[in-house]
A = this chain, B = another copy of it.
Amino acid sequence: MIKYLDQTPVLVAVDCIVFGFDGQDLKVLLIKRGFESERDRWSLMGGFVKFDEDIDQAANRVLEQLTGLEGVYLEQLKVFGDPNRDPTERTISISYFALIDIHQYEKQLNDDYHAEWFLIKDIPQLIFDHQEMLNKALRKIRYKAAFHPILFELLPEKFTIPQLQYLYEGIYDSTFDKRNFSRKILSTKLLIKQLEKDKDSSKKGAFYYTLDKTRYIDKFQAFLNFIPNPESLID
């Protein structure tokens, strides 16, 4: 068996940036690192790729081991490969971002895994280049959500249009006209109106909608420009 001689192997890690939306704010999930070096400092969900493991698999496994999350939206973001990014040992890291419905997992995450949600404006000091990864992920989400319906991944199965609008406004740190917003969203034909109303946030109540999964998959690439100036987005 031929081998590549004279090549130095390096450690390969994956780091997952997990986003959630609590109905008010976009949040990021962090844990206290469980091993040396930098044990007990705040960190993204990270781990090493095993010898016999595909990279996407590794990301899913690490995420599951550290948070119990399975089958969530997970997308490869970028490789971070500065030779000095981890002073312990040369390690390159392949970053992924995940979008989840925060309420579906909130309790499990806190009780079983001691993971904690942080406001974007309120992130503690992170290890290595994790803050840079987070920034990159945020920009990517803003970019992608302008053309693809990924933000639905952050919402529960049933949601109202005002909730959805609130989410978009949070992501783009801006406000939209509710008449235009609702027309735009409904014109995608991606939403199915339910009979039931959410009465929590108003007296009149807002109708629940669910995602039309079939159309969601079909139309994933075809979505509307939600933001006034897509120019400002950086991939």
Interface residues of A (CB under 8 A from B): 1-4, 7-12, 36-37, 48-56, 58, 76, 78-83, 88-92, 94, 144, 147, 219, 221-222, 229-235
Task: A48 to B6: give the CA distance in the assembly, Å.
Answer: 10
Knowing A79-B55, A82-B54, A221-B232, the reply to whether A11 touches B7 (Cβ < 8 A) is: yes
Q: Is the CB of B92 within 8 A of A12?
A: yes
Write out the residue numbers on chain B whose beta carbons fall within 8 Å of the beta carbon of A229: 222
Interface on chain A toward B: helix, strand, loop, or mixed SS?
loop
Knowing A10-B51, A89-B3, A221-B232, the reply to whether A56 touches B81 (Cβ < 8 A) is: yes
> Out of B54, B76, B88, B234, which one reaches A2, CB within 8 Å?
B88
Copies in the complex: 2
Nearest chain B residue, comparing its CB with the CB of A91? B4
Can you list 26 A-B contacts (CB < 8 A)? A2-B88, A4-B48, A4-B89, A4-B91, A8-B50, A8-B51, A9-B9, A10-B10, A10-B12, A10-B49, A10-B51, A12-B92, A49-B92, A52-B83, A54-B81, A54-B83, A55-B79, A76-B78, A79-B79, A79-B94, A147-B230, A219-B231, A221-B230, A221-B233, A222-B230, A222-B231
Task: A233 to B230: give the CA distance in the assembly, Å.
Answer: 17
Q: Is the CB of A10 within 8 A of B8?
A: no
Task: A206 to B50: give the CA distance in the assembly, Å.
Answer: 58
Q: Is the CB of B83 within 8 A of A51?
A: yes
Task: A222 to B232: give the CA distance in the assembly, Å.
Answer: 7
